[in-house]
């Protein structure tokens, strides 16, 4: 007999989006693999099995003069399908806009895949994520490592509440903490990996103290991704990855001054790599010195640059921490971050 059994529960309602969602997920995974991502089958399984739409029940798309909201609750079938299809585009999705300012977003899936691969996790590792966002990244980490191994923190209680709800809807219950991301999460430390999904001007000292020796901190800095190997509670060093990265700033971080670029050739200002150099050296090297570095070193790519943290000193460098091209990073991040 179909339907309700005597004394039983109502059968679950069919999910009208399930077939389309599974197809879109499979398509995204194929796209990422064709682009050289998801070489590890465990990350491939995470992207295949975690439904991204559960983490973006609503998001905003840019329109002239502002944003337009797309939602799972859109009554028009075409708008509803546009919401679901957009959830699987290889694009960042603005999820939290306050007074016209973007506060939180879901990162571009291909960038997430790059960052998760670069995190180089192993079974048994624990991870602290700075910037909870929608919870999708924490879900991918929980799928790979187990939910007890994952902690995600954000300053805004609205964001952490939403992330917690989204994660529960997907069947995951990692630790979701409302707090200052610049201070890490000392009550759950130490961690093997710390992953920031918000842009920095310098590295918060608390992160080194909460990362095990030999651990890794991966964070957006300037318009790149720095991978720092932690030596001890006050020392870390590493190089930038090749890829570019643009994230919402860590709230509480001092704004990074932008050097005057007047007089620089337009073709240079259109170069992603040169803009990275300007951002990394902002306020520390003048535009003329940045141009001299660029020309003397034949337009160096991101991966030739690195960062050293030694006690209360932090500096960026080209090729070598003690080479001729080096400069201090911005002011340390103050409390009040993500």
Looking at residue 285, what is its pLDDT? Answer: 80
Q: Inform me whether the pLDDT recorded for 55 exceeds 50.
A: yes
Query: In terms of pLDDT, which residue wins out, 9 or 92?
Result: 92
Lowest-confidence region among 126-140, 178-192, 265-279: 265-279
Q: What is the pLDDT of residue 63?
A: 82
Average pLDDT over residues 217-228: 96
Q: What was the pLDDT predicted at 264?
A: 64
> What pLDDT band is residue 176 in, cutting at 50, 70 and 90?
very high
**Mean pLDDT, the chain, as a whole number?**
89
Identify the residue whose tokens are 């130490």. Answer: 190
pLDDT at 66: 77
Mean pLDDT computed over 108-127: 98
In the predicted model, what is the mean pLDDT of residues 173-197?
97
pLDDT at 71: 96
* Between 145 and 247, residue with greater pLDDT: 145
Largest Cα span, the chain: 81
Q: Tell me if the bond preceding 190 is cis, omega within 30° of 0.
A: yes
Residue 332 has pLDDT above 70, yes or no: no
pLDDT score recorded for residue 1: 42
Task: Choose the catalytic residue: 104, 106, 107, 110.
Answer: 104
Q: Are strands 211-221 and 191-196 parallel, antiparallel or unpaired?
A: parallel
- Residue 338 confidence (pLDDT) above 70: no
Residue 271 falls in the annotated catalytic set:
no
Query: What is the per-residue pLDDT across 92-102, written as a single tens digit (0 to 9) for each?
Result: 999 987 877 77
pLDDT digits (tens, 9 = 90+) for 158-169: 999 999 999 999
Domains of the chain: 20-179 (3.40.50.150)
Cα–Cα distance, 142 to 104 (Å, whole number) = 21
Mean pLDDT of 68-84: 94
Q: What is the reported pLDDT for 308? A: 98
- pLDDT band of residue 82 (cuts 50, 70, 90) is very high
Span 199-215, pLDDT tens digits = 999 999 999 999 999 99
Mean pLDDT within 227-253 = 90
Looking up tokens 């509480």 gives 252
Q: What is the mean pLDDT of residues 252-259?
A: 48
Report which of 105, 94, 82, 87 is spatially closest to residue 51, judged by C-alpha positions: 87
């Amino acid at each position: 007999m179909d339907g309700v059994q005597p004394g039983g529960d109502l059968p679950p309602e069919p999910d009208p989006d399930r077939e389309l969602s599974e197809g879109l997920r499979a398509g995204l995974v194929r796209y990422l693999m064709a682009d050289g991502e998801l070489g590890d089958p465990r990350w491939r399984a995470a992207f295949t099995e975690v439904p991204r739409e559960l983490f973006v029940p609503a998001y905003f798309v840019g329109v002239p003069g502002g944003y337009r909201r797309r939602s799972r609750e859109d009554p028009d079938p075409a708008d509803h399908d546009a919401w679901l299809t957009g959830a699987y585009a290889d694009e960042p999705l603005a999820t939290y806009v306050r007074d016209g300012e973007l506060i939180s977003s879901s990162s571009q899936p291909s960038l997430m895949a790059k960052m998760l691969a670069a995190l180089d996790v192993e079974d048994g590792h624990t991870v602290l994520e700075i910037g909870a966002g929608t919870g999708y990244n924490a879900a991918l980490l929980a799928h790979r490592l187990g939910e007890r191994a994952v902690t995600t923190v954000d300053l805004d209680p609205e964001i952490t509440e939403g992330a917690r709800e989204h994660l529960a809807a997907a069947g995951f219950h990692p630790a979701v903490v409302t707090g200052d991301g610049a201070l890490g999460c000392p009550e759950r430390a130490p961690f093997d990996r710390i992953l920031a999904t918000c842009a920095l001007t310098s590295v918060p000292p608390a992160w080194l103290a909460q990362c095990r020796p030999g651990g890794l901190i991966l964070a957006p800095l300037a318009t790149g991704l720095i991978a720092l190997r932690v030596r001890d509670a006050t020392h870390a060093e590493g190089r930038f990855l090749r890829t570019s990265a643009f994230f919402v700033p860590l709230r509480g971080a001092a704004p990074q001054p932008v050097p005057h670029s007047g007089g620089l050739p337009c073709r240079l200002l259109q170069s992603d790599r040169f803009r990275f150099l300007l951002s990394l050296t902002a306020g520390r090297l003048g535009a003329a010195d940045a141009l001299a570095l660029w020309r003397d070193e034949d337009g160096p790519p991101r991966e030739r640059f690195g960062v050293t943290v030694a006690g209360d000193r932090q500096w960026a460098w080209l090729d070598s921490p003690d080479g001729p091209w080096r400069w201090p990073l911005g002011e340390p991040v103050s409390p009040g971050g993500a």
